[in-house]
Amino acid sequence: MMPPMRTRPQHVVAGLKEKILSGELGPGAKLPSEAELIAEYAVSRTVVREAVSRLQAEGLVETFQGRGSFVLAVPEPSSFTLETSAIRSHHDVLAMVDFRIGVETEAAALAAARVTPASAAPISDAMADFVAAGHAGAVEADFAFHRAIAAATDNRFYVDLLDSLGPMMIMLPRTRLGEEYTMTDATHVQRVQREHENIAAAVLAGDVETARAAMRLHLGNTRRRLSS
């Protein structure tokens, strides 16, 4: 059945876009003529022209006066990575923590909103491992905790991002902390453990706002320690 008038251009766009993205109409290929598109989609010339105009706006085709419309190359997707090896200066480390505050604060909130028994178990396990680790191996345990929070969002992009940073996102700030903030200082270890426990408790309780605030406080404290 022919779609309603207002959706007809989109119907043509969808059909042509499918052919472009599937490779049936490859880069440099000429679109069928207006007459051919009118016949294929049973629409008016006005509808065809609007559809082609929309494809132009999306960067999929280019039209040349008197020659017709041609398919442009679809940009290849690029992988997003963050190279901790490129984070060298103190300024870079502060910038990374700022970035983590923006990302992980919302990750904690989303994790609290979506936590399930299956995703809660890794958080509890990671928290227990972090406490047990103390100052020995605390980097790996700390990273595992943050990764478990990210995994509980049920959004792979959070996990991909943390995996891209890796445990160095924990190690790099620590190398720039004063003696009173090292993981060999018992008072500091207890303080950091409490911060993690508050995050875990809020996420496991499904308390979105408290989880968001707890993660922001934890990472904000990290930044404050780096700036002191």
* Nearest Cα residue to 193 out of 147, 201, 96: 201
Tokens matching residue 59 = 């960067």
> What pLDDT does 70 receive?
93
Mean pLDDT, all residues of the chain: 87
Per-residue pLDDT, 1: 47
pLDDT of residue 110: 98
pLDDT, residue 83, reads 65
pLDDT given at position 84: 64
CB-CB contact of 126 with 148 (8 Å)? yes
State residue 183's pLDDT score: 58
Domains of the chain: 5-71 (1.10.10.10), 84-227 (1.20.120.530)
Distance CA 12, CA 47 (A): 8
| Spans in the chain with pLDDT lower than 50 | 1-2, 5
Cβ pair 114, 88 in contact under 8 A: no
Structure token digits, residue 219: 């990472």
pLDDT digits (tens, 9 = 90+) for 17-68: 999 888 899 999 999 999 999 999 999 999 999 999 999 888 889 988 888 8
Within 8 A by CB and 6+ apart from 86, the residues are 92
CB distance 70 to 60 below 8 Å:
no
Backbone CA torsion sign across 200, 205, 210, 211: positive
pLDDT of residue 176: 64
- With 0.75 as the threshold, say if the pTM is over it: no
Going by C-alpha positions, the residue among 87, 111, 65, 101 that lies closest to residue 164 is: 87
